[in-house]
Amino acid sequence: MRICDLESEHQQARSRRTVLKWAGGAIAAAALFGGTLPNFGISSALAADLGSGDIGILNYAYALEQLEAAFYTKVIDSPYGKMSKSEREILTDIRDHEVEHREFLKGALGDKAIPGLEVDFSKVNFKSRKSVLTTAKTFEDLGVSAYNGAGRLLKKGDYLLAAGRIVSVEARHAATIRDLLQPGTVAFAGPDVVDKNGLDVARAPAAVLKAADPFIVTKVTAKSLGGMKS
């Protein structure tokens, strides 16, 4: 994790809140007007703007995959006590998948890719199975809902297919992590994520970025992600 030498942590946290709040507003405005919003001059050495159109959506996915990959890398590097062999295998597989997703998106974006994000897992107790798996559940369900919500925003069919190849693997992760937390129950596709029409959650980028915000130090803005719909 990168150490911030430009601002004090306090200042940084404060400005991050401001920018994310503002970015959320911009997305809400984009939802209403469906247009591209101007950059109001907010910029920072530590900020990452997702960009617009399909690139913006791919960067958005890339940001989430970075977050997941960093999380599972840490989980495997500092495993919680009494991590069973089968759980270690599962979490190692998931780490490898998230790294592959991250690298795939990075490669697809080329020089349009946002920089590596600085993450903050200070709220996760990596010594605790429950803390680790609960965080994993949050990330996986969030990832599924993010891809489900973003599909309609992609213009290019190849990108939609690429997102589809990833999202069902995220859903497999989500079901597995949920089953580790509540074995043998219906939690793998519980009523908290699947509604009465049998549909999984779909979230607009603004809602996803808000949920991911506590784990990302780098300012992630979506200044020009047009056509949003919450």
How many residues interact with another protein (rule CB under 8 A)?
45
Cα–Cα distance measured from residue 93 to residue 206, given in angstroms and rounded to the nearest whole number: 29
Using the minimum distance from each CB to another protein, give the nearer residue, 14 or 165: 165
| Backbone phi and psi for residue 126, each to the nearest 5 degrees, phi listed first | -70, -10
| Near another protein by CB under 8 A: residue from 4, 96, 134, 211 | 96
| Near another protein by CB under 8 A: residue from 12, 19, 54, 97 | 97
- Residue 7 within binding range of another protein, rule CB under 8 A: no
- Residue 87 within binding range of another protein, rule CB under 8 A: no
Tell me how far, at minimum, the Cβ of 152 lies from another protein, in Å: 4
- For residues 225 and 57, the answer to whether their CB atoms sit within 8 Å is yes
Tell me how far, at minimum, the Cβ of 67 lies from another protein, in Å: 16
Angle (nearest 5°) at CA 67 between 213 and 147: 85
Tell me how far, at minimum, the Cβ of 134 lies from another protein, in Å: 18
Write out the binding residues for another protein, residues 40-59 only, by CB under 8 A: none
- Residue 174 within binding range of another protein, rule CB under 8 A: yes
Tell me how far, at minimum, the Cβ of 176 lies from another protein, in Å: 5
- Residue 202 within binding range of another protein, rule CB under 8 A: yes
- Residue 137 within binding range of another protein, rule CB under 8 A: no
Sole window of 10-18, 35-43, 73-81, 98-106 interacting with another protein (rule: CB under 8 A): 98-106
Tell me how far, at minimum, the Cβ of 209 lies from another protein, in Å: 18
Using the minimum distance from each CB to another protein, give the nearer residue, 174 or 216: 174
> DSSP per residue over the chain, as a string?
-PPP-SS-HHHHHHHHHHHHHHHHHHHHHHHHH-SPPPP-S---TTEEE--SHHHHHHHHHHHHHHHHHHHHHHHHHSPPTT--HHHHHHHHHHHHHHHHHHHHHHHHHGGGPPPPPPB--TT--TT-HHHHHHHHHHHHHHHHHHHHHHGGG---HHHHHHHHHHHHHHHHHHHHHHHHHSTTSGGGG-TTTS-TTS------HHHHHHHHGGGB-SEEE-TT--S---
Interacting residue ranges for another protein, rule: CB under 8 A: 90, 93, 96-97, 100-101, 104, 144, 147-149, 151-152, 157, 160-161, 164-176, 179, 184-186, 188-189, 194-202, 229
